[in-house]
Chain A
Amino acid sequence: MTAPLLDVVRLKKHYPLPGGMFRRGPGSVVHAVEDVSFQVPSGGTLGLIGESGCGKSTTAKLLLRLEDVSDGAIRFDGTEVQRATGPQLRAYRRNVQAVFQDPYSSLSPRRRIGDAIAEPLIAAGELTKEQISERVAELLRVVGLREDAANLYPHEFSGGQRQRIAIARGIALRPRLVILDEPVSALDVSIRAQILNLLQDLQERYGLSYLLISHDLDIVSHMCTDVVVMYLGRVVEAGSMKAVRRSPQHPYTKALFSSVLPAHPDRRPERIKLLGPLPSPINPPSGCVFRTRCPHAQAICAEQVPASVDTGVSRAACHFATPAAVS
């Protein structure tokens, strides 16, 4: 087995709550990311899934070094980068790029597309002007746009084309890992398919690794080699995509996949309904954070944080997960 490209170890992000009208007492914080560990395999795609507010985007921001970690380690290619500064941070940032849901918000309306794509190349300061415009033309071709698109403005493109532009910008510096946060959520089915195919082509061509955040579990299943399931800031299950989809081990993962709508009226899987509301990340439940909505919760679930158990299928953080038989 090859070493993982990215190794995330017990990552934490706590946001202190501001004082004032809604003060909830000193020291109260949002537990946005709590003890999160996972690995992105080299050349693979890791899916990060879970309901809104479970900490997916915060995790992405920590990995992109847009926010500082509260605790834990981020190892990229064997080197710790969570506190890197100066040239080391710059080198890391070249290697780890991002594509977000809404390319419109990340493209300035008054800047030509060519300039937007050139921006990271100019900032890197390694290429001449001619080399940069050649590279921009090449990138446009690679993502399936015409070279003369460089002279146009964002509003002259459709949503799918803008996402292609964002991808071109994301891969401009030849990164090794691209973080995709809901990259196709705003797109129509057929355009979505084009972008997903493009992402797979680029992965093959450049040996890219992806971290894919999406609430569309069919897309995650289609794209990912591995998956991490988060709930209220914590990882509840992680493993190979195929295995987890076929046989989820954690009760939350089971409920999550059971809510996927099959694309046929005659396929109606049994849905597992979660009890009650999603608790607040300011006061997460003691022990297992999922226990307040879990159909199988027992006394122990309120007392101890469950350790992650190797079930043979995946690793699941549940007191009642069955460990794999030792062979």
Chain B
Amino acid sequence: MSKADAMAAKVLPLMPEPTPSEPLVEVRDLRIQLRSRDGARLLNVVNGVSFPLHRGRTLGIVGESGCGKSTTALALMGLLPGSARVAGGQVQFAGENLLAKSEKEMRELRGAKISMIFQDPMVALDPLFTIGDQLAEPLERHLKLSGAALRERQVSLLQAVSIPSPETRLGQYPHQMSGGMLQRVVGAIAIACNPALLIADEPTTALDPTAQAQFLDLLARLRDTYQLALIVVTHDFGVTARLCDDVLVMYAGSVVERGPVREIFDHPRHPYTQALLAAIPQAQEDRQGRLRTIEGQPPDLARLPQGCAFAPRCPNVRPKCHELPPPLREMGDGHVASCWRAGEV
């Protein structure tokens, strides 16, 4: 155990672990519709997302913007916008369906058992309050801490996220810290009440490469020390490779492929996953080499094609693909893909 791990472990007692064979989170066939911003159309934003997630494990959710990653994450948090309607499915968390809970019950869970980190640290932080005040809020609310115990916990949380001179930092305001530092403060707030599930939505997209690498190290360390179930929403396969055990690839609200991270990188089965991986500029690639692209655009979520949503852009398309949506099929080793041709070699 490194010094930082030991420091982090001291902060919080671990929540009792459920039987390891049982996933902490089990999302089943989640379906969400959103009214478009102009109110005129009903968007099918999430169309049957399923995945299990165990404690201590990390799931990456990847896909182009607008494919429904954040909406899926917000559904788990009970933070869907007012224009949203859950059209079906379940979100099992520690044996209970979160979708059946009241707003009051969800408020008890949020920031306590389930936490979320957003891309912009200033979504979570208020420029008018000190770091200490913002760290105190969940501790007072959920853990009823006060006085010396509160102070001690604030300090050790900042230590857990590797912020130097925590006593000084507690009295400072957000504008006095760098973006990378602020994101770590947000990390400290997120783990303040010892959550079991942490959802990070594009947590490093706004950071420099050096700050990004540090923050991903931190997430990995927090996950391992507290046996967090971690969901990382990202469009960056580098982040996925660094952090995830499993990867779920979304396209137009559907899961096109899900499986262990190495399987996804080495044997992607869905043409969409293959195309995404091929579009990454690799360091060793020749400068003259052209990058692979995906022609066309994602479908209109108000009028999804009746077959496979990717068919209009797919290089391997067959007539059948336009007629029937492909089911998620088992490829072995927990790897599933929804493509009529996934079984072909």
Q: B291 touches which one: A196, A215, A245 (CB < 8 A)? A: A196
Residue ID in chain B nearest A258 by CB atoms: B213
Given that A196-B281, A218-B282 are known contacts, is A261 also in contact with B238, CB under 8 Å in the complex?
yes
Q: Interface size (B, Cβ < 8 Å)?
A: 42
In the complex, the answer to whether B281 meets A190 with C-beta atoms within 8 Å is no
Q: In the complex, A263→B244 CA distance in Å?
A: 12
Q: In the complex, A265→B60 CA distance in Å?
A: 13
In the complex, the answer to whether B265 meets A190 with C-beta atoms within 8 Å is no
Stretch at the interface among B134-142, B146-154, B271-279: B271-279
In the complex, the answer to whether B291 meets A193 with C-beta atoms within 8 Å is yes
In the complex, the answer to whether B209 meets A215 with C-beta atoms within 8 Å is yes
Residue-wise interface mask of A (28-71) relative to B, using a CB-CB cutoff of 8 A (1 in contact, 0 not):
00000000000000000000000110000000000000000000
Residue-wise interface mask of B (172-213) relative to A, using a CB-CB cutoff of 8 A (1 in contact, 0 not):
000000110100000000000000000000000000111111
Residue-wise interface mask of A (256-299) relative to B, using a CB-CB cutoff of 8 A (1 in contact, 0 not):
10011111111100010110111000000000000000000000
Q: Does A217 belong to the interface (CB within 8 Å)?
A: yes
Return B40 CB to nearest CB of chain A, in Å. 15
Stretch at the interface among A219-227, A300-308, A315-323: A219-227
Q: In the complex, A85→B242 CA distance in Å?
A: 51
Given that A219-B281, A271-B213 are known contacts, is A190 also in contact with B242, CB under 8 Å in the complex?
no
Residue-wise interface mask of B (251-293) relative to A, using a CB-CB cutoff of 8 A (1 in contact, 0 not):
0000000000110010000000001110111110101011111
Q: Which of A190, A255, A260 has the most CB of B within 10 A?
A: A190
In the complex, the answer to whether A215 meets B208 with C-beta atoms within 8 Å is yes
Q: In the complex, A39→B164 CA distance in Å?
A: 40
Q: In the complex, A259→B208 CA distance in Å?
A: 9
Given that A261-B213, A265-B241 are known contacts, is A221 also in contact with B281, CB under 8 Å in the complex?
yes
Q: Does A108 belong to the interface (CB within 8 Å)?
A: no
Q: In the complex, A224→B287 CA distance in Å?
A: 7
Given that A189-B235, A193-B279 are known contacts, is A264 also in contact with B293, CB under 8 Å in the complex?
no
Q: Which of B213, B244, B285 has the most CB of A within 10 A?
A: B213
Q: A189 touches which one: B64, B179, B262, B289 (CB < 8 A)? A: B64
Residues of A within 8 A of B214 (CB): 273
Q: Does A200 belong to the interface (CB within 8 Å)?
A: yes
Q: Does A158 belong to the interface (CB within 8 Å)?
A: yes
In the complex, the answer to whether A263 meets B280 with C-beta atoms within 8 Å is yes
Q: Does B297 belong to the interface (CB within 8 Å)?
A: yes
Residues of B within 8 A of A215 (CB): 208-209
Return B82 CB to nearest CB of chain A, in Å. 23
In the complex, the answer to whether B281 meets A193 with C-beta atoms within 8 Å is yes
Residues of A within 8 A of B80 (CB): none
Return A278 CB to nearest CB of chain B, in Å. 7
Residues of B within 8 A of A222 (CB): 281-283, 285, 287, 289, 291
In the complex, the answer to whether B210 meets A51 with C-beta atoms within 8 Å is yes
In the complex, the answer to whether B241 meets A261 with C-beta atoms within 8 Å is yes
Return A255 CB to nearest CB of chain B, in Å. 7
Q: Does A14 belong to the interface (CB within 8 Å)?
A: no
A-B complex: 7 closest residue pairs judged by Cβ atoms: A261-B238, A222-B281, A193-B291, A259-B213, A193-B279, A190-B294, A188-B64
Write 30 A-B pairs (CB below 8 A) sorted by A numbering.
A188-B64, A189-B235, A189-B236, A190-B276, A190-B293, A197-B290, A197-B291, A197-B293, A218-B281, A218-B283, A221-B283, A222-B289, A222-B291, A224-B287, A225-B287, A256-B209, A259-B209, A259-B210, A259-B213, A261-B209, A261-B236, A261-B239, A262-B238, A263-B237, A265-B241, A265-B242, A265-B265, A267-B241, A276-B164, A278-B178
Q: Assuming A216-B209, A265-B241, what are 18 further A-B pairs, CB within 8 angstroms?
A: A51-B208, A52-B179, A188-B65, A191-B64, A193-B279, A196-B291, A197-B291, A215-B208, A222-B289, A222-B291, A241-B287, A259-B212, A260-B238, A260-B283, A261-B238, A262-B241, A263-B237, A263-B265
